[in-house]
Amino acid sequence: MTIEQREVLVHVRQCFGATCTIERFEQLKGGARKQVFLLTLHNPSTQCIMYLWQNAANYFAERVAGGFEETQSDEKAPALFLLNTSYLLAQGVNVPRVLYTGKVAAGQHFAFVEQIRGTDFDRFAATASVSARQTVLMHIGAQLATLHAQQRTYPGGLEDAPSTQSKPPQDTTLARALLEVSATAEARPEVAEYQTQISEKLQTLHAQLTPRPLYHLLHGELAGSHVLVRESDQAVYFIDIEGIHFGDLESEHTFLQLIYGADYGYLARTDLDSARMAFYKFAMHVSLVYAGSCFMLRGFHDQTWAESLFKGHFARVLNSL
């Protein structure tokens, strides 16, 4: 979808005033499900970010069909974004503030949000000094602790009621991973060769888990690209928060270990269950194999990265068998 600047200007003037003009309208690299734009404005002279929810590519069609992507639909994701932003700010978790929301003429939801002047953690870490990197990692750790301090007795999103959450999160993860193995095996002969072994290992690791009475609030995908570092004071802000949910800490920490590597020590905890860590780690690699395959098959803009994602995590899956 291409959105015209003149259409955006109508909404800009409703947010910033009737004399505001757009000096620059630039599309940034977005995620798999929404487009991201940077708006440079005049009168007032400021900048903001525009999110436009459009999951037209539907990279993960099998997950959608299986009911595992409900929070990422073009209708539900924007509402969750607003709800989650409000909740996180109230709890002291830094996220960009929402300035204005609406719909474009084609029907998709959008939001203008506060621009955090700086860069994401990946770019910051590439050139930062050791001390600056350590400072920011401690800020990420503190914000993560605030996020994870939110607890309740049943899993799911902020909007979910106890009556709608009949499955513990490990059961949902198992069902999704088995679907991902099956879907990837249909597309990739090298995966089909090991489908039975992978599925059996998932079920074996899952069988070792015991019931749990309490769940923590998780980001779900806190990669370095989803952490903004403000240049003025190195404060950190979490983005891509549509999918925050209550679940097992171990599912978050397996991903954090993978992404942050040697820096994970700044984010680590001592109260994680080893059996859950083993299960979620294997399921995570399975999911990333599936994701890499989907991106390769469905025309993701960076095919080299997609192939690397698929091959790298498939190797890890095989090494775990």
* pLDDT single digits (tens) 258-311: 999 999 999 999 999 999 999 999 999 999 999 999 999 988 888 999 999 999
Q: Is the dihedral of CA 154, 155, 159, 161 positive or negative?
A: negative
Residue 256 has pLDDT above 90, yes or no: yes
Going by pLDDT thresholds of 50, 70 and 90, the confidence category of residue 162 is confident
pLDDT at residue 300, as a whole number: 86
**CATH match for 5-115 among 1.10.260.40, 3.30.200.20, 3.40.50.10240, 3.40.50.720:** 3.30.200.20
H or E, element range at 218 = strand 215-218
Enumerate the domain spans of the chain.
Answer: 5-115, 119-320
Give the chain's mean pLDDT. 93
Query: Comparing C-alpha atoms, which of 99, 90, 98, 96 is closest to residue 147?
Result: 90
81-105 per-position pLDDT tens digit = 999 999 999 999 999 999 999 999 9
pLDDT at residue 59, as a whole number: 83
Residue 50 has pLDDT above 90, yes or no: yes
As a whole number, mean pLDDT of residues 123-150 equals 96
Would you give the DSSP letter of residue 212? -
% pLDDT > 70, the chain: 96
pLDDT at residue 293, as a whole number: 96
Going by pLDDT thresholds of 50, 70 and 90, the confidence category of residue 64 is confident
Going by pLDDT thresholds of 50, 70 and 90, the confidence category of residue 20 is very high
Residue 1 has pLDDT above 60, yes or no: no
- Whether 119-320 and 5-115 are alike in CATH topology: the answer is no
As a whole number, mean pLDDT of residues 73-78 equals 80
Give burial (CB, 10 Å; 0-12/13-18/19+) of 272: middle
Per CATH, the number for 119-320 is 3.90.1200.10
Dist. CA 7–CA 12, nearest whole Å: 9
φ, ψ of residue 152 to 5 degrees: the values are -160, 175
Single-letter code of the amino acid located at 302: D
Residue 34 has pLDDT above 80, yes or no: yes
The token pair at 67 is 């009911």
Q: Please list, residue by residue across 190-219, b when 16 or more beta carbons sit within 10 angstroms of its beta carbon and e when fewer do.
A: ebeebbeebbebbeebbeebeebeebbbbb
As a whole number, mean pLDDT of residues 63-89 equals 85
